[in-house]
A = this chain, B = another copy of it.
Amino acid sequence: MPLSPPAQPGQSFAEIETPALVLDLDAFERNLVAMAAFTQAHGIRLRPHAKSHKSPEIALRQIAHGAVGQCCQKAGEAEVLVAGGVGDVLVTNEIVGAAKLDRLARLARSAKIGLCVDHPDGVREAAEAAARNDVTLDVYVEIDVGGRRCGVAPGEGAVRLAEAIARSNTLRFAGIHAYHGSAQHMRSIDERREAIERAGFAARNTVERLSHAGLKCEIVTGAGTGTHELETQSGIWNEIQAGSYIFMDADYARNRQADGTPFRTFEHSLFVLAGVMSKPVPDRAIVDAGHKSAAVDSGMPVPFRREGVIYTKPSDEHGVLTGDPIAMPHRGDSLLLIPGHCDPTVNLHDWYVCVRGLHGPDAHVEALWPVAARGALI
């Protein structure tokens, strides 16, 4: 049976059932414009990461603002994006297994599809899938630029993989994937700058060796919201993959800019609207949003514009607010929580409740957008 959505278009803000994933359309649109202006001013390609939003509605708005396409992590996400009208998708991940590779290859009949490799067997398997499905796949060599996750070592190992790709009849060597995940949430600009300088050195060295081997590296792709200005200014990357900029989670807001002030390039546009179901004592209120409404892997959700009120101790379906009794909400009140980490929070919900004029007196639901690729794990 289908589950009830938390709201319907046209309803007032007060009519939204809790908990709900609320998108402040005004702030979201300002974030879209801010990143479009930045990337256009710097002449850099933007390929936003759809793992943040899992929504063709959002992908198409990013593309309308100049993005070249989308990134994603899973074959299932790519399927949802292509079905929703996205024509250019890069899976920024190693895809292992014939069934998944065949799914990507089938998509390549109607869209430009890229994937990453970091092992010779990955090249062979991708080539076979492309051949079985009579398509060409774009293949990027992923190099480990400091994240110590996937990726081949920069330099000669990457060149050998690129040569194997270039030898294939069904693959196109498209460039290198150089993403430094752990640099995104380093708090000071100095730490982030040093990490991205090291990553840039590895990427530049790899591009030069590829060139010596006669291989043109068309695209150097990577970067996230936390470091995108550094990759952009490096002159090494020519495509950035920032995803979280549209939403701005609480954790990114803890990063510091060059002058030591919080990272404020983008606005908080995504919230979990929670309702108070119990207030047993004046300094404790219990909300209906716990682990199943808001991810806590990067810290607790932060109550929005509720000074003195702290969200703590989530259970599956409860969150405990503690703090100043004067500021504490009452039973039946609702409040906005800034998710600690937007990406896994979005993945818990089926709908974006898109609100116009969120912080004003006429706040109303303008649209419901499905989180169409929620749970696209394979």
Contact = CB atoms under 8 A, between A and B. Distances in A.
Contacts of A348: 347-348, 375, 377
B376 A3 contact: yes
Interface stretch (A145-153, A194-202, A251-259): A145-153
Interface residues of A, number: 73
Tell me the number of copies of this protein.
2
Interface stretch (A89-97, A133-141, A232-240): A89-97
A347 B292 contact: yes
A280 B332 CA distance: 52
B150 A278 contact: yes
Contacts of A153: 280
Interface in A316-332: 316-318, 320, 331-332
Contacts of A276: 96
A341 B280 CA distance: 27
A87 interface: no
A71 to B, nearest CB: 12
Contacts of A103: 4
Contact of A97 (B119, B148, B275, B376): B275
Interface string A78-107: 011001000000000111110110010000
Contacts of A284: 148
Contacts of A95: 277
Interface in A336-371: 341, 343-344, 347-350
* Shortest 10 CB-CB contacts between residues of A and residues of B: A150-B278, A73-B317, A94-B277, A291-B344, A17-B378, A96-B277, A94-B278, A1-B83, A150-B286, A292-B347
20 contacts: A1-B79, A3-B373, A51-B316, A96-B331, A119-B278, A121-B332, A148-B284, A148-B320, A149-B313, A149-B315, A150-B280, A150-B286, A291-B295, A292-B343, A292-B344, A292-B377, A297-B297, A316-B344, A348-B375, A374-B375
